[in-house]
């Protein structure tokens, strides 16, 4: 069982639910070591005293706030906790809202909340209340000396605490060059939209996360194995010449691309249309069928 990152309580109104916070994800990144290209020896990093140049061990490191140039106030973990004991020991629910009202761009990092000793029943009560009400709890929590806005979300048997980005942390999209919001103003025709919707419908399926994997990581590891077998572990692969990009000024025939994606051929189109001409609806809409067309 993983070690709890934080222990405290969910609090709203007179309700107090003792909980523990656990990481909900683990990074599956490739562990690449930086090497000196001259002799391929690992490159190390030292924590050193900028005044004396001497190396500093973890046990001798404390945190400080720079209140003036090169002047610091030392802040220990106990200082950070005592500054606001309630904030560091509670998840204060501020409101309950519909999950759809919180844009996905606000979501940052997920954590699992598990009930601490004596909190099973009231934890389950909050979980089922969130589920029945179809709401999420918006709260404040302090993690590692920083206060976060967060959402408490019911996910199966667990309550997930997902930290949220504050509005001030998000960049405005109006700085980007984007097509007009209205389809017609963006040059999209009804025919093109029907074709695109047909493709989306044809590719729609139930969410099955188990079928997805990090294929890029697999390819890198396969390349590592290939270089080991070829005894090329010290070979630095030179950068390939950049591929010449297609001219971006050409007009794309979107309808043709959609038809190609749908596998729509003239023969298939005639076959799809035959049941309609005979007054019979096909048992299942064929890939590429366009709603509203004969």
Round to whole Å and give the CA distance between 268 and 198: 15
The residue ranges of DSSP E strands in the chain, in sequence order, are 6-12, 15-23, 63-68, 71-75, 90-97, 107-115, 136-143, 146-155, 158-164
The hierarchical CATH code for the domain 6-28+81-166 is: 2.40.290.10
**pLDDT at residue number 15:** 84
CA-nearest of 274, 183, 278, 189 to 289 is: 274
**294 residues of the chain, pLDDT tens digit each:** 678 888 999 988 888 899 999 989 887 778 888 999 999 999 998 999 999 999 999 999 999 989 899 899 998 888 887 887 677 788 999 999 999 999 999 999 999 999 999 899 999 999 999 999 999 999 999 888 788 999 999 999 999 999 999 998 998 888 788 888 888 888 888 888 888 888 888 888 888 888 878 787 888 888 888 888 988 888 888 887 866 555 445 555 666 777 777 775 444 444 444 444 444 444 444 333 333 333
**pLDDT at residue number 100:** 92
Domain positions in the chain: 6-28+81-166
CA dihedral (39, 44, 48, 50) in degrees, to 10, reads 60
**pLDDT at residue number 181:** 85
Round to whole Å and give the CA distance between 272 and 286: 7
Q: Which helix (H) or strand (E) holds 194?
A: helix 190-202
Residue 18 and residue 116 in contact, taking contact as beta carbons nearer than 8 Å: yes
DSSP 8-state secondary structure symbol assigned to residue 128 = H
**pLDDT at residue number 278:** 45
Round to whole Å and give the CA distance between 190 and 180: 16
Round to whole Å and give the CA distance between 63 and 80: 10
**pLDDT at residue number 223:** 86
């Amino acid at each position: 069982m993983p070690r709890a990152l934080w222990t405290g309580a969910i609090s709203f109104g007179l309700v107090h639910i003792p909980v523990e916070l656990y990481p909900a994800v683990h990074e599956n990144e490739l562990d690449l070591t930086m090497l000196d290209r001259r002799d391929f020896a690992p490159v190390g990093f030292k924590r050193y005293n900028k005044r004396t140049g001497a190396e500093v061990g973890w046990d001798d490191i404390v945190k400080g706030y720079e209140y003036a140039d090169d002047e610091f106030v030392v802040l220990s973990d106990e200082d950070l906790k005592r500054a606001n004991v309630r904030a560091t020991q509670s998840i204060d629910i501020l409101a309950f809202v519909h999950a759809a009202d919180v844009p996905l761009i606000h979501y940052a990092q997920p954590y699992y909340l598990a009930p601490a000793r004596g909190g099973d029943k009231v934890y389950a009560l909050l979980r089922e209340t969130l589920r029945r009400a179809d709401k999420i709890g918006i709260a404040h929590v302090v993690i590692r000396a920083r206060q976060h806005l967060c959402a408490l979300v019911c996910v199966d048997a667990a309550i997930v605490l997902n930290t949220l980005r504050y509005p001030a942390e998000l960049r405005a999209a109006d700085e980007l060059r984007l097509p007009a919001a209205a389809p017609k103003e963006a040059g999209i025709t009804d025919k093109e939209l029907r074709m695109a919707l047909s493709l989306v419908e044809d590719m729609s399926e139930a969410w099955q996360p188990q079928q997805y994997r990090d294929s890029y990581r697999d390819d890198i590891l396969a390349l590592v194995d290939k270089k080991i077998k070829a005894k090329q572990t010290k070979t630095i692969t030179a950068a390939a010449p950049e591929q010449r990009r297609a001219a971006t000024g050409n007009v794309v025939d979107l309808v043709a691309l959609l038809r190609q994606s749908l596998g729509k051929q003239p023969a298939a189109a005639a076959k799809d249309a035959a049941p309609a001409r005979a007054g019979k609806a096909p048992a299942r809409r064929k890939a590429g069928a366009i709603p509203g067309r004969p």
